[in-house]
Amino acid sequence: MTLLIEAFEPYLLPLIRIFVVFLGISLIVAYLVYAERKILAHLQVRLGPMRVGPHGLLQPIADGLKLLLKEDIIPAGADKRVFWLAPVISVIAAFTGFALVPFAPNFMITDVNVGLLFLIGISSLGILGIILGGWASNSHYPLLGALRSTAQLVSYEVALGFALVSALLLSGTLSMRGIVEAQAEQGLWFAFVQPVAFFILLVAAIAETNRNPFDLPEAESELVAGFHTEYSGFRFSLYFLAEYAAMVLVSSIAVTLFLGGWLRPFPSVAALDFLEYTPVAVLLGAAAWCFRATLRLPAAREWRWQRLLMLGLAAGAAAIGVALLTPGRFLPWWQEGQPVFPLLDAIQGVFWFMLKVFGFLYAFIWFRGTFPRYRFDQLMNLGWRFMIPVAIANVIFCAVAIVLSQRLGWNLLASLWLGTAATLLVAAALRRGES
């Protein structure tokens, strides 16, 4: 027995991390679905889920149970094994990418020195899940939806790759951890020196996850439900899970490459050190809001469990917020040279990372509630005739800018902004050429 444990010893910590990340991402995805419904509802001046639990907070659990208990229908003439395999490929591709994402300097599953390349490869594998699912359904709506979706994904993957290369020019390494450390070293987030690449990454990320305004392949008014029309019950929940996990994954990639990953805003400026208390402020704010919501719930007897639930949430958030502020003296492993609030310090990286990722996810949901859908030929036109040329121009001009700053001694920031201006000129010329 001890031999077994000794054999497992080097793999124990990564296994625990994998477990934590898997659980965490599943929770985030489940509540992302709820958040999307709530945010879309508020954008459309209605309330969204309110009945299942206080303010609909238990809706994801009800949805999950419903999907698990639904009848599993396989269309007649469908290829059973490929029908089973396709959502599994999508989910595996979506979740495997999280092994390469650096959540915090002290919390990442692994750091591969070609991490970014493998992330691109894994998103290419995800495309296979869509095309096989569409074909295996033996029905024309899924087939058309899968073909359209695959064409869109492949086109925007090229633009995504070029946008990532623009960030790589500045960081000099493909390792995800190395990219964040390069941003820490150079003292700036790459989004401020490569705004065009950031914008292209944002657009390509939305197209890669089949979200509005690029969601023609799964739009209800167009193709019933696209490639997952014939899927029901647990298989559909796998596709659903894969789509939202892919959303979180591309947001994580964008945050790591352009928004500084786990870095606090202005980490080198000592005057802004009070920003380190933001987690406590956010948790206490959430606790206050839940408490206010408890008071506003009806005082009737049948609402009692909902009021208790909200109160429990408020108490939990407040407790965690206060626990973060325990001074080091009360913790057994604390020594003199370590920071004053070690728990707060440990959670800094993950907090800022998740805050930025949630900001991105809010943007995804906001765009869904705001923009009309692109028609498929407009979508392909945009991808091939605007995004890719502008992305290539960005890579060329920013590479020239970096060489100029290295050889001629120009200021790096100034030359990069010059390169960005040249790219914007190219983009304007392309737009005028089309209209």
Residues that bind another protein (CB under 8 A): 79, 82, 85, 112-114, 117-118, 120-125, 127-128, 131-132, 134-135, 143, 146-147, 150, 154, 157, 174
Least separation in angstroms between residue 131's CB and another protein is 5
Residue 209 · residue 148 · CB < 8 Å: no
Specify the residue, 122 or 283, whose C-beta has the smaller distance to another protein. 122
Least separation in angstroms between residue 429's CB and another protein is 23
Least separation in angstroms between residue 125's CB and another protein is 7
Least separation in angstroms between residue 121's CB and another protein is 4
Residue 253 · residue 357 · CB < 8 Å: no
Residue 21 · residue 109 · CB < 8 Å: yes
Specify the residue, 174 or 413, whose C-beta has the smaller distance to another protein. 174
Residue 67 · residue 231 · CB < 8 Å: no
Peptide bond into 213 cis (omega under 30): yes
Specify the residue, 34 or 231, whose C-beta has the smaller distance to another protein. 231
Specify the residue, 149 or 256, whose C-beta has the smaller distance to another protein. 149
Residue 217 and residue 209: Cα distance in Å, rounded? Answer: 11
Strand boundaries in 127-228, DSSP class E: none
Residue 174 phi/psi, 5-degree rounding, is: -90, -10
Q: Is 324 helix (H, G, I), strand (E, B) or coil?
A: coil
Least separation in angstroms between residue 114's CB and another protein is 5
Minimal CA–CA distance to 205: which of 284, 97, 349?
Answer: 97
Least separation in angstroms between residue 205's CB and another protein is 17
Q: Is 269 helix (H, G, I), strand (E, B) or coil?
A: coil
Residue 331 phi/psi, 5-degree rounding, is: -100, 135
Specify the residue, 82 or 275, whose C-beta has the smaller distance to another protein. 82
